[in-house]
A and B are shown apart, each in its own frame.
Chain A
Amino acid sequence: MSSVAVVDSVASVFAQVVPASAAETTFDVPANVVFAVQAVFMIFAAIRVVTTKNVVHAALWLVVVLGGVGLNYVLLQAEFVAVTQFLVYLGAVIVLFLFGVMLTRAPLGVSEDLDNNQKKIGIGVGVALLGVLTYALIESFGRSELTFAAYSGTSEVNTNGRTQALSDTIFSQYLIPFEMLSLLLLAALIGAIVLARRD
């Protein structure tokens, strides 16, 4: 929550400094600085997740990536999803991963035996995929601007309104998928218990 508050206060300060005409269309400089810093951290951490030779360190680098994704959600004004991301991923999934590491008695120190001999194929596929995706994205979206109505408009489109609209959408248009999701979670819970218990 504190990161939300920090971004919020930075945003309100900036909204007073810049001329109204500039603030109406985009909300650029501080958000872009935050974005650039966390993007560098996230990419570095993601590369460490797939290259580090220590299983526990991989889980800890994953924390940086998942936290950065949550920060991205804050930047994109999806606060509810951001808080869910912090709770579910940083709170639950990482702990599950650490339990998985411990229960499978993974080598806790540095281990040379975590990668197979397909490194060249992996790099080739990754770079090719990135090239295709980059080409497609730049072709389709070019320099399209994201507009941030919440900090320049009136209270009608403020951030609380967005969360309210989100809940309205979930519980009207997407009610049946939402209920199916709870059934899926129940099935996954029972399935995991059945698979993991000793009989």
Chain B
Amino acid sequence: MLLNQFLLLSAILFSIGVYGVIVRKNGVLVLMSIELVLNAVNINLIVFSTYWGNSGQVFALFTIAIAAAEVGVGLAIVLLIYRNQRSVDIDELDELKG
């Protein structure tokens, strides 16, 4: 197996995730796209741990834990936005625009 087949798969997932972050309007869907990006990074870490050594797996575990924490806090923030605005539309949050 080539190293690059995994790396290219993760690059594709990363690009799709970035597209989702840019295009989506709903806060929950933006968080899902961020999950795609984080998972793409995790594939990279695991591939290089298979290639060079164990540290990549440790960092992948750290990323999984931090991503879980990020989803928890992020959804709490989205919930708060919903309570204040009656909507989770990210594009409507322009009160700092002046």
Contact = CB atoms under 8 A, between A and B. Distances in A.
Mostly, the A contact residues are helix
Given A130-B11, A130-B15, A195 B69 contact: no
A143 to B, nearest CB: 6
B82 A69 contact: no
Contact of A72 (B32, B43, B65, B80): B43
Contacts of A32: 1, 5
Contact of A126 (B19, B66, B80, B89): B19
A134 B64 CA distance: 25
A55 B54 contact: no
Contacts of A50: 16-17, 19-20, 23-24, 29, 33, 36
A192 B73 contact: yes
A60 B13 CA distance: 17
Interface of B: 1-9, 11-20, 22-29, 31-33, 35-36, 39, 42-43, 46-47, 49-51, 54-55, 57-58, 60-62, 64-73, 75-80, 82, 88-89, 91
